[in-house]
Amino acid sequence: MKTDAEITDGRNPRGAKCLNVVFSDDSYHMVQKFLKIGRGHEEIAVVTGGYHLGHINNDNYAKRRAWVKVNLGIDLDDMTMDVDQSDILFEMATGGNHDIFAWVDFSCPAEYANFLHWSSRKKPVGVFVVKPIPLSMSQDPRGGEDRDISSLDYVRSSANAIQQEDVEKFESLWKILETENSAFRLFDGAGQLRSVKIDAFDDVLAGSVRFKWELMPTVVLRAMNECWSSGRCFPGDLFFYKRLAWLGENSNIEIKMDINDITRSELRIRAST
């Protein structure tokens, strides 16, 4: 996905006065929507990588991508954009004394983890942190038309500049997560980003299987509902499918696997012999 020409309408990137750093595809499209209304003097730097998933202690993307694909059933390339281009834009903005806004949702594990990884490398003292807003908030509730672009200024007016102590706090947390090097980084019940082992959801998955044969989507949805009702943060349905297939080979869960379409596979608790 392009991150400069589409935004600047062909202008020289060095003429940009503001840089918006985003940490997810959703935030990219949200900021892009505002900028297309007429702010050709601003840029977007996309910092992704799915750092809430997979082992992170050696920062080897290729190895992590392969492990995540095999063990979690998720393709990191689907959530990763051109980070090298983003680094270039950030260095240019820093050297040009431009305003830099980091749009990060600290309640989203993917965005928070991506931000922590980025912060540990860039030490972004003085960068302004802004919380992304839903696209629906940029619509005029009276008629569905786009609000005036000043709404973007309004959101950014409440931004807080990152201080040195903030950078140190972010770096300390990231070092802990790197050292723990778990399968996931997700929020716990207190809203803190924590390392989570790959077998952390085996209890809810096994508890969602019944004695009669059921299609896997039924079991996955039951497990997801259990997580939602208990306020438990989980990595998504793709991992639940992958993990149930593993449990079908390594537990008392019996599986009739459809190798062409995992959603057509069936599960039940293994009958006693």
**Residue 123 and residue 216 share a domain:** no
Q: Provide the domain limits for residue 126.
A: 5-186
Answer yes or no: is 194 within a domain. Answer: no
Residue 85 lies in a domain: yes
- 92 and 218 in a common domain: no
- Reported as a single tens digit per residue, the pLDDT across 102-155 is 999 999 999 999 999 999 999 999 999 998 875 445 444 444 444 444 467 777
Are 164 and 205 part of one and the same domain? no
Q: Which of 158, 186, 214 is the last residue of a domain?
A: 186
Residue 17 is predicted with a pLDDT of: 78
* Same-domain status, 45 and 148: yes
**Domain-ending residue, one of 151, 186, 221:** 186
Provide DSSP, the chain. Answer: --SSHHHHTT--GGG-SEEEEESSHHHHHHHHHHHTTT-TTEEEEE----TTBS--TT--HHHHHHHHHHHH---GGGG---HHHHHHHHHHHHHTT-EEEEE--TT-HHHHHHHHHHHHHH--TTPEEE----GGGGB-TTTSPBPPTHHHHHHHTT-EEPPHHHHHHHHHHHHHHHHH--SEEEE-TTS-EEEE-TTTTHHHHHTT--SS-EEHHHHHHHHHHHHHHHT-----HHHHHHHHHHHHHHSSEEEE--TT-GGG-EEEEPPP-
Confidence of residue 80 (pLDDT cuts 50, 70, 90): low
In a domain, 70, yes or no: yes
Q: Output the pLDDT for position 7.
A: 34
Residue 95's pLDDT band, with cuts at 50, 70 and 90, is confident
217 or 5: which leads in pLDDT? 217
Residues 60 and 151 placed together within one structural domain of the fold? yes
On whether residue 191 sits in a domain, the answer given is no
Q: Is residue 193 part of a domain?
A: no
Q: What share of the chain has pLDDT > 70, as a percent? A: 83
| Same domain? 72 vs 98 | yes
Domain-embedded: residue 192: no
Same domain, 203 and 181: no
Q: Is residue 182 part of a domain?
A: yes
- Domain end point (choices 186, 209, 229): 186
User: What pLDDT is recorded for position 94?
Assistant: 78
Query: What is the band of 273 on the pLDDT scale with cuts at 50, 70, 90?
Result: low
Task: Tally the domains of the chain.
Answer: 2
What pLDDT score does 197 carry?
Answer: 96
- The pTM of the full predicted model, rounded to 2 decimals, is 0.82
**How sure is the predictor about 93, in pLDDT bands with cuts at 50, 70 and 90?**
confident
Q: What is the pLDDT of residues 35-68, one digit of tens each?
A: 775 555 788 888 888 999 999 987 788 899 999 9
pLDDT value for 227: 96
Q: What is the CATH number of the domain that holds 248?
A: 1.10.10
132/25 same-domain check: yes
